[in-house]
Amino acid sequence: MGVGAVLNSSDPIKKTNQQRALPGLSADALSLLSHGCVSVAGVQLSGLTAAQHLVEAGVGKLCLIDEDPKALSSAYKALGFSQTEILCRAWKIDGHDADSIFAECDVVIDGLINWQDKLLASDVCMQIGKPLVHAGGSGFRYQLFTMRPNRSACLRCAFPMAGIDDVPLQPPEHKPIAAVLGMIGAWQAVETIKLIAKIGAIQGNELTKIDWLSGEFETIRGLDPRKDCPDCGRAPR
Ligand SMILES: [Zn+2]
């Protein structure tokens, strides 16, 4: 093999490395991501996986929130060193301080355990106009819903509209399945990347139910804001 052949081979290798860095995202999208800020509310279920993917994608700032300081500490260690600025806040969501805590972020990820906390997060995000990437469920069955103020019903309205009437008051008794949570967290990260980088389609009024045991996926459409609702019907414009 001559010298020329060796030199010519450098171009494809360089391209391959660039593609491995982050396929599918343009320079503009990467720039938007690098300036994006995401609050991850709850890091004990899908939230940590979502955070790991967002660090990998180059999100500028992550605010990790959890009521358990030990969970926060282990999540922080799991994320390792990166370009992403990572803040940790030991805090249980409530209706008083959440607006100021979520105020600086672009998107909130729902990695919360308690359903009342999830509903509170929905209330606050609607009030201050922040998208909420919700996931909820247990075992092998989950639902995912990217809630966008002015385009989406709030969680309190969306659940009954989607036939989810039995919202549990207590956390699930069964041990979560890490493989399922990993897929849920990755889904939430993708939705968040799309919102921050302003790419792809997010209708905001579609909820997806997934049952990995039966292999069924169901998308419920038409979850629009309800005019008679004090949360989604009066979201800030
Ligand atoms: Zn509502």
Rounded distance between C-alpha atoms, residue 116 and residue 121, angstroms: 9
Average pLDDT on 139-152 reads 95
Tokens of 12: 């494809």
DSSP H or E stretch at residue 38: strand 37-41
* pLDDT of 95: 74
Mean pLDDT of 163-169: 74
Domains and CATH numbers, the chain: 25-234 (3.40.50.720)
What spacing in Å lies between the alpha carbon of 235 and ligand 1's midpoint? 9
Band of pLDDT at residue 235, cut at 50, 70 and 90: low
For residues 155 and 147, what is the distance between their CA atoms, to the nearest angstrom?
8
Task: Return the pLDDT at 133.
Answer: 98
% of the chain exceeding 90 in pLDDT: 70
* Ligand 1 centroid to residue 48 C-alpha, Å: 28
Residue 8 reports pLDDT greater than 90: no
* Residue 170 pLDDT grade (very low, low, confident, very high; cuts 50, 70, 90): low
Report the separation in Å between the CA atom of 156 and the middle of ligand 1, taken as the mean of its atom positions.
6
| Residues 111/101, Cβ–Cβ less than 8 Å | no
* Cα 145 to Cα 8, 64, 129, distances in angstroms: 48, 20, 16
pLDDT at 14 over 80: no
CA distances 75 to 55, 79, 89, 134, 160, Å, are: 12, 6, 12, 19, 33
Q: Which two tokens stand for residue 121?
A: 């997060």
Q: Tell how far the Cα of 44 is from the centroid of ligand 1, in angstroms.
A: 27
Q: How far is the CA of 175 from the centre of ligand 1 (A)?
A: 31
Q: How confident is the model at residue 18 (pLDDT cuts 50, 70, 90)?
A: very low
pLDDT at 236 over 60: yes
**113: which 2 tokens?**
């355990």
Separation of 152 CA from ligand 1 center, angstroms? 8
**pLDDT level of residue 33 (50, 70, 90 thresholds):** very high
pLDDT at position 10: 47
Please spell the DSSP secondary structure of 59-106, one letter per residue: -SEEEEEES-HHHHHHHHHHH-S-SSEEEEEE----TTTHHHHHTT-S
Q: Which of 29-38, 81-90, 128-137, 205-214 has the lowest mean pLDDT?
A: 81-90
Confidence tier at 5 by pLDDT (50, 70, 90): very low
pLDDT tens-place string over residues 62-103: 999 999 999 999 999 999 878 899 999 999 888 778 888 898
Cα gap 157→16, rounded to integer Å:
47
Q: Residue 67: what pLDDT?
A: 95
Q: Which residues of 96-118 are buried (b: 16+ CB within 10 A; e: fewer)?
A: eebeebbeebbbbbbbbbbbebb
Cα(90) to centroid(ligand 1), Å: 28
| pLDDT at site 81 | 76
